[in-house]
Amino acid sequence: MHLSEAQLAEFDSEGWLFLPECFSAEEIEVLRAEAEVIYASGREEVWRESTGAPRTAFAAHTYNEAFGLLGRHPRLVEPVSQLFGEPVYMHQFKINAKAPFDGEVWQWHQDYGTWARDDGMPEPRAMNIAVFLDEVMAVNGPLMFIPKSHRQGVLAAGHDTATTSYPLWTLDKATIAELVEEGGIVAPTGKPGSVLMFHGNLVHASPPNITPYPRKIVYLTLCAVSNHIRKPTRPEWIAHRDFAPIEACAEDALERYARSRPKVAA
């Protein structure tokens, strides 16, 4: 999948791009079911909220076949390679959950700020490309972006290790207020199978989920191979050390996998 000139211009201007319903119901069904199996496991890669509800599951592409195919899917890998003008590798892979009633906040932050400070990534030539596993609604903890904030470069941040179970380099209220005054806030919503891609410096957050509706999103953090991390401080299953270019799977690989497997009990 390649982006049009209009899409490239929109991404450059706003810092994000929404691609509705890129994956079929059949493809999403198997991913959603297997995500629930992973969340129910005792693996160290699964981080939890203070309530015990799942918060995020790292590196599922390394031990789960369905997510391994998603991590090499051309609908995700090709647009990012196109933007960077070179092959990409997987810097990070995670399945973020906003569990019904228990999904906690993700504070205002820039992803590249963490990748630079904690992983030694030289430049913001990496980005998240995200797949909705559930419907993302205005009420169940959607991602919130501050458009055009990626143009501000890397902003000063503090290391918040107390608000939630996941430590994050966060921005202060005054900075957010200033950015919002200029760019406003958007919260993209959409059906399962929709895709979001956003610049590594785009400021974003998500509110708690206090509804009965789950909100699971898979994030592939794809980095230009020449921009690989230099001084990682986090475990390998959070910040990967395999800098080999991703070799895309067949366009219909995930669909064929879904059809070959019995339904996974969630």
pLDDT per position as a tens digit, 53-71: 999 999 999 999 999 999 9
Query: For residues 50 and 90, which has the higher predicted lDDT (pLDDT)?
Result: 90
Angle at 70 between CA 193 and CA 145, to 5 degrees: 55
User: Is the pLDDT assigned to residue 170 strictly greater than 80?
Assistant: yes
What pLDDT digit, counting tens, does each position of 145-168 carry?
A: 999 999 999 999 888 777 766 778
What pLDDT digit, counting tens, does each position of 238-260 carry?
A: 999 999 999 999 999 999 999 99
Residue 168 lies in a domain: yes
State residue 45's pLDDT score: 97
What pLDDT digit, counting tens, does each position of 195-212 carry?
A: 999 999 999 999 999 999
Bridge-based pairing of strands 168-170 and 158-160 is antiparallel
State residue 138's pLDDT score: 97
Domain that holds residue 66: 5-260
State residue 48's pLDDT score: 94
Banded pLDDT at 219 (limits 50, 70, 90): very high
Residue 265 lies in a domain: no
State residue 155's pLDDT score: 95
Residue 224 lies in a domain: yes
State residue 165's pLDDT score: 63
Give 149's contacts (C-beta < 8 A, 6+ positions apart). 15, 110, 179, 183, 201, 202, 203
Residue 21 lies in a domain: yes
Banded pLDDT at 106 (limits 50, 70, 90): confident
Residue 62 lies in a domain: yes
* Reported pTM: 0.93
How many domains does the chain divide into?
Answer: 1
Mean pLDDT of 217-225: 98
CATH of the domain at 165: 2.60.120.620
User: Is the pLDDT assigned to residue 108 strictly greater than 80?
Assistant: yes
Residue 87 lies in a domain: yes
- DSSP, residue by residue, the chain: ----HHHHHHHHHHSEEEETT-S-HHHHHHHHHHHHHHHTS--TTEEE-TTS-EEEEE-GGGT-HHHHHHTT-HHHHHHHHHHHTS-EEEEEEEEEEE-TTTBPPEEEE-HHHHHHHHH---SS-EEEEEEESS-B-TTS---EE-TTGGGG-SPP-EEE-SSSSS-EEE--HHHHHHHHHHH--B---B-TT-EEEEETT--EEE--B-SS--EEEEEEEEEEGGG--SS--S-TTTS----PPP----TTHHHHHHHHSPPPP-
Residue 239 lies in a domain: yes
State residue 167's pLDDT score: 76
Please name the residue that has the structure tokens 């290391």: 159
State residue 202's pLDDT score: 98
Residue 73 lies in a domain: yes
Banded pLDDT at 89 (limits 50, 70, 90): very high
